[in-house]
Structures are given as C-alpha cells and as structure tokens.
Amino acid sequence: MSVTVVGSIAFDGVSTPYDRRDRLPGGAAFHFAQAASFFTDVRVVGPVGDDYGDDHMALLATRGTNVDDVDRVAGGKTFFWKGHYHEDLNTRDTLTTELGVFETFEPELSDAAAASDVLFLANIVPAIQRKVRAQSSARWSALDSMNLWIDIARADLVAAIGDVDCLILNDEELAQLTDQRTTYAAARAIFAWEKAPSAIIAKQGSYGAQLFTADGGGFTVPVFPLESVVDPTGAGDSFAGGVVGYVAARLAADPSLTVDRDVLATALVYGTATASHNVEAFGAEKLYELPTSAIEERVARLAQLTRFDDVPVALRG
Ligand code: AMP
C-alpha cells in the first residue's frame, strides 16, 4: 500500500455568500484521499461515529481507497465542522468544531498501515501525529497542521515537524510558527532547527504554492485560473493529496528514487491541478467521478501558462 493518511473524517456545514450545505462528507483525511487516489493506493486511518453511513464510507472508498482502518465507534458522533466564507472566498470563520469521536482517538496503526511507503499526517493534535510517525516505517512522510496547534501545542508541533521529510503549511501559519515576515525567511528559520524536514511547502491560498528545499532549491506554482470557485473547503487537503499522492506514485514506480526538488516541483503542479477541481463544487463532490485525464489537462495548461523560456526577457540580451 503506498500512502497511509491519518486525520479527520468529518461532516462539514459550509456556507458562502452565495449558497450553503448543512452536512457534507468532509474532513482532512477525506479530502486528502479523494485527491491522492488519482495517483496511488490510499489507506485511511481515523475514527467515525455510527452516524457515518455505508453510503459515506463508500464515498470515502472512491477509486479504491482502503477503509479497513476506519474505526466506526459505537455510540460515537463523527467529527463535525462548520464554517462560513467571506465575500472573497479566501477567508473563513469557523463557527463550530465538535470533536466527537476524535476526543478519545488513540491511533494504533495496523501492520498494513505501518508498512505504507508514504505517510501523510493530516491536521490533528501534534502529539498524536508523533505517535503515528513513530509506529510507521514509511520511507517518506509529510505533515500538515493549523494555527490552533501553533497556539496551544507549539513544542509538540515543532517536534512533530522534525520527525517528517516535508512540512506543508499555509504561509500565515509559517509566519506565525517562526515569527518571520516572509515565507522564505520562515522556511530558512525552520531549516535551521536542530531537527528539520528537508522540504517545506507553503500553501498560499488563491496565490498558489511555493516549495523550499533544505539544499537551497525552490519552485513556485500559481493557482490554476478558474472562472468561479464554489467551495474552497478542503483545498489545502486536496492539494496535499495531489502532492503526496504523486510522490507516492513515483516512489512506487522507482523505489530507489530520491524525493528531491525536481520530484516535489512536479508534485506541486499535480497538487495545484487536483485542488483546482475540488473547489469547483461543494465538499469533494466534483472529484468523485472526475477522470484522471481532467487533472492531466490542467497540469498541461499550468505548464503552458508558466513557460518562461519563450518570453523575451530584455536582460538576456
Ligand atoms: P482545508 O479547507 O483544507 O483547511 O480543510 C478543511 C477540512 O478540515 C474540513 O473538511 C474539516 O472537516 C477539517 N477540519 C476543520 N477543522 C479541523 C480540526 N481542528 N481538526 C481536524 N480537521 C479539521
């Protein structure tokens, strides 16, 4: 099995200035799996309540995602998150977070989950991310987090980041974590930690994403140009799913591969193309039936839009 993801499986209530949905299948691990499953085999680890129906489980299992390690807790309630987006659809307020079965979640990886080549620690309590990382024999791992954990569990989060190969975080969160004003300075500050990842990916919302590698490499990808965005929920997780899923597919094809700047740069383009589809409908609805070719088309378009070698640049003489 190539990617194991540990994180929230949820119901989301989402409203924008234009439309709303009261109860959609969501959660960080759910959005990640929808995206990563275009590229590789995915196994999801996380708890749900007995309000999580077989129909929801079937959606989680889209494109063959393995749900054997999803624990349906008898008498428990599935994690519920409710958010409202502002006019720009870039900023949102969290209105409700009901942890439900996550309150007592103590992950024990199955043998199959522990043996995955790649591990993604979606946004959960950093101490739990560390416990999961310690149980896994993954060759390559990445982690996401959020401002809440920088506020209340910073030391655990710093330790968890030191345990993985790649940190994926919003640029505001990188600034908050390091007290630095630019994303580049924040990345340099993290690379200077005693234990640091070898790559950092800054998610920049509607501005795209940036990669920094500890050896001084970097890459920038713009956001895919869209006529309209319906629901940005899960954009970060589906971006991460595309990035990590692509890396896992490359590692599955070539076990001796080094996940370097070039591999990650391509992964950023795949993550961007995948997330661009996710935001065009509520929840992950657009991804359920999407053909992989629709992602490939946007990868090709991004390559075309960012080509530089055919643009006359005066300084080149
Ligand atoms: P994103 O839009 O990529 O930041 O991810 C939104 C998803 O994260 C939603 O589907 C939520 O269910 C989930 N989520 C929101 N808050 C939390 C939290 N505190 N812990 C875990 N997952 C969360």
The residue extents of the domains of the chain are 2-305
- Nearest ligand 1 atom to alpha carbon 123: 21
Q: What pLDDT score was predicted for residue 315?
A: 64
Span 172-200, average pLDDT? 98
Q: What pLDDT score was predicted for residue 32?
A: 98
- Nearest ligand 1 atom to alpha carbon 92: 2
Grade residue 316 by pLDDT with cuts at 50, 70 and 90: low
User: Among residues 148, 59, 47, which one has the least CA distance to residue 100?
Assistant: 47
Dist. CA 300 → ligand 1 center (Å): 29
Is the shortest distance between the CB of 66 and ligand 1 below 6 Å? no
200/210 Cα distance (integer angstroms): 8
Dist. CA 8 → ligand 1 center (Å): 7
Q: What pLDDT score was predicted for residue 13?
A: 98
Identify the helix (H) or strand (E) that includes residue 316.
none
- Secondary structure (3-state) at 269: helix
137/154 Cα distance (integer angstroms): 25
Identify the helix (H) or strand (E) that includes residue 58.
helix 54-60
Residue minimizing CA distance to atom 5 of ligand 1: 234
In terms of Cβ atoms closer than 10 Å to its own Cβ (0-12, 13-18, 19+), residue 12 is buried
Residue minimizing CA distance to atom 11 of ligand 1: 27
Which residue has 């193309």 as its token pair? Answer: 273
Span 227-240, average pLDDT? 96
255/129 Cα distance (integer angstroms): 25
Q: In this prediction, what percent of the chain has a pLDDT beyond 70?
A: 98
pLDDT digits over 141-159, tens only? Answer: 999 999 999 999 999 999 9
Residue minimizing CA distance to atom 15 of ligand 1: 81
Dist. CA 72 → ligand 1 center (Å): 19
Dist. CA 304 → ligand 1 center (Å): 32
- Nearest ligand 1 atom to alpha carbon 10: 12
pTM over 0.85: yes
Span 89-107, average pLDDT? 93
Q: What pLDDT score was predicted for residue 311?
A: 80
Q: What pLDDT score was predicted for residue 310?
A: 81
Is the shortest distance between the CB of 92 and ligand 1 below 6 Å? no
Is the shortest distance between the CB of 13 and ligand 1 below 6 Å? no
Q: What pLDDT score was predicted for residue 312?
A: 78
Radius of gyration, alpha carbons of the chain: 19
Q: Supply the DSSP symbol for 255.
A: T
pLDDT greater than 80 at residue 1: no
- Nearest ligand 1 atom to alpha carbon 239: 3
Span 245-253, average pLDDT? 97
pLDDT digits over 116-141, tens only? Answer: 999 999 999 999 999 999 999 999 99
pLDDT digits over 210-225, tens only? Answer: 999 999 999 999 999 9
Is the shortest distance between the CB of 150 and ligand 1 below 6 Å? no
pLDDT greater than 70 at residue 317: no
Span 246-253, average pLDDT? 97
Q: At a CB cut-off of 8 Å and minimum separation 6, what does 184 contact?
A: 212
258-279 b/e with 16+ CB inside 10 Å = b? ebebebbbbbbbbbbbbbbbbb
Is the shortest distance between the CB of 16 and ligand 1 below 6 Å? no
Is the shortest distance between the CB of 62 and ligand 1 below 6 Å? no
Is the shortest distance between the CB of 172 and ligand 1 below 6 Å? no
Span 35-62, average pLDDT? 98
Length of the chain equals: 317
Span 169-188, average pLDDT? 97
Is the shortest distance between the CB of 26 and ligand 1 below 6 Å? yes
Is the shortest distance between the CB of 100 and ligand 1 below 6 Å? no
The pick from 5, 6, 8 for probing ligand 1's pocket by mutation, whose C-beta has the most ligand atoms within 8 angstroms, reads 8
Residue minimizing CA distance to atom 9 of ligand 1: 27
Label the pairing between strands 79-85 and 92-98.
antiparallel
184/110 Cα distance (integer angstroms): 38
Is the shortest distance between the CB of 231 and ligand 1 below 6 Å? no
Span 265-291, average pLDDT? 98
pLDDT digits over 65-96, tens only? Answer: 999 999 999 999 999 999 999 998 888 999 99
37/25 Cα distance (integer angstroms): 16
The mean of the pLDDT values for the chain is: 96
Report whether CATH 3.40.1190.20 matches the domain 2-305: yes
Residue 119 backbone dihedrals phi, psi, to 5 degrees: -125, 135
Identify the helix (H) or strand (E) that includes residue 234.
none
Q: Which residues pair with 45 in a beta bridge?
A: 6
